[in-house]
Each structure stands twice: as structure tokens, then as C-alpha cells.
Chains A and B, each alone.
Chain A
Amino acid sequence: MQFFVTKTGLDAFDTARAWGLAVLLNVLTQDEVRLQDASWAFILEPKGCIPQNAQLTGLGSWVTLFNAVDVQWDSVFVTQRGRQEEKKGQVRQILETQLHSLLSDLQRPDNLVEIGSGENVPGGLEPAAFKGLRHVTKASYREDQLKVSEGHWALSCLGMATCGTYRFSREAGQYRWLVLLPVPQNVHFNYFRDVQELMRPSGLRYIGVQNAAAHYSVQLTEQLRRRAVAQGSLQDRFSAVLYFTLFGTRQQVKPSQGNQLNLTPLMDAIQEDPHGTEAMLKWLDYCFRLGATKGAEELALAVTELVMRWDLDAYEKLVKVFVRFIARNQVRYDNLPYERTLLGVMKNVKV
């Protein structure tokens, strides 16, 4: 039985809906859900069967999603302070009451999200949902909220709360929320904490959102590489990491910047040789960690550029900067890369 999350073009909203549906199907079947990106839609296929007259109410794993501390409801609704509990309850109630109609709707490949009526997409979930970003507002600030149908809204909130990563930190001198969401390409979903584990916070002080997103991408790749080694081959692939930042003005939370980081070069590398890429990822991780220290911002920027672009310019810049750090005796001998480590990096560089 296949389910289709037809894309709307709102990247974070679409991806969050796909994760939300995966969580929902996982709770209902208590089994693995396969998630594939077919470019026009995310296609989900649960391994187990959904019981006739299935109910979410009373299921232990369903209740956990609304009580566990690591499900980030408050962060998803960060733009609706004071109403976060109410919104969380609303998500739960909508999914419990509209479960069967929503699932039958999502089984049609031509299902579409109705935009313009329903619930407001929260800014903590989709940065394009903020007013003033979609249309020219000219002199008067009269743009409507981005509203979508209730079922899809609830699915997206569930997906973002369970599989998204929110990190509140001081970056480049300003406190902000960094929001990250991995985009699945071909994933076997078993438990939402497996996805959370891929984006574990590192506790480093980053110099910008790109720097943080690039480091999280390397960490995600390392986790997948370890799984690939344990399982014999790469089972799960992610196409990108969506990232954006939110910052607090005096009264409101606003988006600042965002983009997506293409994971294809890293995924290809670990698919081809999961054992051989260990040293490369370890060295990149070291560059990020050294780059997070005071005075090493240049290294952080260089390694970020490489992970984002994988071209000769970026590679050359990184080796030039790294050699200067060796010159300043800031790199211990044990942390120098082997030739084979650099060969692993070079394999991914586009010339």
C-alpha cells in the first residue's frame, strides 16, 4: 500500500509532511516504513498492514509523541508563544479524528494540499510561511498568513516536531534558532529517534548557519556510514539538509537566512566505500571542531565551503588554510591527515 505526499514547492513543509506521515504509519503498523523521494512527491510504503478501524487514541507510541521531552513541539510553534500547548493538542486531535479520511486521501497520487484556507503554517516549521516573503507588500503590510488544510498542517507539525532539529545558540554574536531537517531520498524509517540521532547537537560554537549545517551534514554522513558498515551496505540515503535560522526581535520571531545543503557527494562517497571514507569524515570533523575554536574562523569557513561546493577552489583554500594552522603549531601530529585521507577528499572534488 503506497501513500503519496505530493510536493507543493515549500521544501520544509513538504519534507516535514513526509516525515510526519512516516511517523504516523510507523505508529499504526508498529513496523518499518519505506520513504522515497520521487521528485514530484514523497512515496511512503509501510511494511506492515494498517488494521481495519485503526485508532490512534490509546496507542502507547502515539501518546509518547506528545509527552516525550525530545519531541520539539515548543520549537515548532515558537512563533505562537503562549499557545504552544493548545497547538500541540490541536495537532493530536486533528490526526486522531481525521485519520481515515487523511490516509485515504494520501493514497491517491493526485492528492493536493489546499492552500488558502485551514490552519496557519508556523514560521518555525517553514520559513516561507512568514508574512512579507511571498509577495511584494509595497507600502502596506497586508499579506495573509499561509494557510493549508488541517490534515496536512497537522502532519507537517508532527514531522517537524519529531524529525527536525532545533538548536538555540549564539552564533556570530547573535542568539538565534538554527533549524535543520534532513531530506530523505530513500530511507527505511523505523523510529523517529533514529532520525533525531543523525543530527545530534555537537555543542560547538559555530560562526554561522552554513558552518553549522555543513558540520551537521558531516556528522549525519558519519552516522550513516557507521550503519552502512554494520549492515554491509548503505541502506538509507538523504538528498539534502534543509536549514534556516530564526531570530528574536523584541516582540516577534523572524527568519534570517536558509538554504539546503546537497548531500549527494557525501552519500556517493559512503555508498562506494563505507570503510575507506571513515578517515575523510574524521578529518573533516576535526577541521570543523578546530574551526569552532577562537581564532580559527578561517578554517571553519574553508571547510564549510568545501562541504557545500566540493570544487577545486574550495579544496585549495582548505589545504592552504590548514597548512597555515600546522605552521602555527595548532595541529597535533596525530591530527594530520594521511595521504589516503586526502585522496578520499579529492575523489569528491569536481575539477
Chain B
Amino acid sequence: MSKCEAQRLEEVFSDPAVREFGSALRRALRLNDDYASLMEFEFAETPEAFADALRRFLRRYETLARRYNLRRPSESALESIVRLADDYGVRMIRAALISHALCRAEREAEGGEQ
């Protein structure tokens, strides 16, 4: 069994880097209607394109983070998620990332970050 097959979607979803970016995407969608990033993630087919989409998302997110004093995803999280996309393919990482964006935010955690 390949590494890709052995890795399950739920494990990717629970990865700290995916969680960090997913929470940021959720806030970007709810507070800033950042659907451009969502579309860019959807159109990314290769790990390289996905990494570019993540970087562009971070640039957009910076403005929001300054305005609301939000925590930014770390550089190590970016490296980690790009590595995951290399190892397991873009589709699985994207599905896990968007899943974080649609789920209910833990109010305490969100509050603590602000």
C-alpha cells in the first residue's frame, strides 16, 4: 500500500498545519468574503500551483489579520502543508482545508486569537 493510500483524509484533516490554515481560511471567508482564495484553491491542480495559491491567500489574509489582530499561519505551517500536498496530492489537502472552513468555529479558541 502506498503512503498516499495509507494516509486517511481524517488524519490530514487533523494535521496541525492544515488546521492552522483551515482556521485562517474560515476567518477569511466569514470576515472578509475571501472567495478569490477559495477559487484559487479549487483551480490548483499541482502541488506547485497549490503552494502559490496558499502564498496568495497569506498575502490577502495579512490585511485582515492586521485589522482584527488575528494570528497568522506560521511559516513552518506553510512548509508543512506544501510538503503534505507533495506527498499526498492536492485533492486530499484541499478537501481537508475547505472542511475546516465550513465547520463551526470553536468560539473560545476564536475569541482567544483576537
Contact = CB atoms under 8 A, between A and B. Distances in A.
Nearest to B33: A327
Interface string B80-113: 0000000000011011001111111000000000
A333 B106 CA distance: 12
B6 to A, nearest CB: 9
Contacts of B101: 323
Given A320-B98, A339-B103, A312 B35 contact: no
A316 B95 contact: yes
Contacts of B5: 351
A351 B4 CA distance: 8
B103 A341 contact: yes
Mostly helix, strand, loop or mixed at chain B's interface? helix
A315 interface: yes
A349 B103 contact: no
A172 interface: no
B29 A327 contact: yes
Interface string B8-30: 11100110000000000000010
A185 B10 CA distance: 29
Contacts of A351: 4-5, 7-9, 92
B9 A349 contact: yes
Contacts of B14: 343
Given A315-B95, A327-B33, A337 B8 contact: no
B51 interface: no
Nearest to B30: A326
A326 B91 contact: no
Contact of B95 (A319, A327, A341): A319
A322 B102 contact: yes
B102 A347 contact: no
A319 B98 CA distance: 7
Nearest to A335: B104
Interface residues of A, number: 22
A333 B26 CA distance: 13
B38 interface: yes
A306 to B, nearest CB: 11
**Interface-central residue, A312, A327, A349, by most chain B CB under 10 Å:** A327
Contacts of A339: 13, 100, 103-104
A316 B10 contact: no
B42 interface: yes
B102 A346 contact: no
Contacts of A336: 102-104
Nearest to B6: A351
B102 A337 contact: yes
Interface of A: 312-313, 315-316, 319-320, 322-323, 326-327, 333, 336-339, 341-343, 346-347, 349, 351
Interface of B: 4-5, 7-10, 13-14, 29, 33, 35, 38, 42, 91-92, 94-95, 98-104
12 contacts: A316-B95, A316-B98, A322-B102, A326-B29, A326-B102, A337-B102, A337-B103, A338-B103, A339-B13, A342-B13, A346-B10, A351-B5
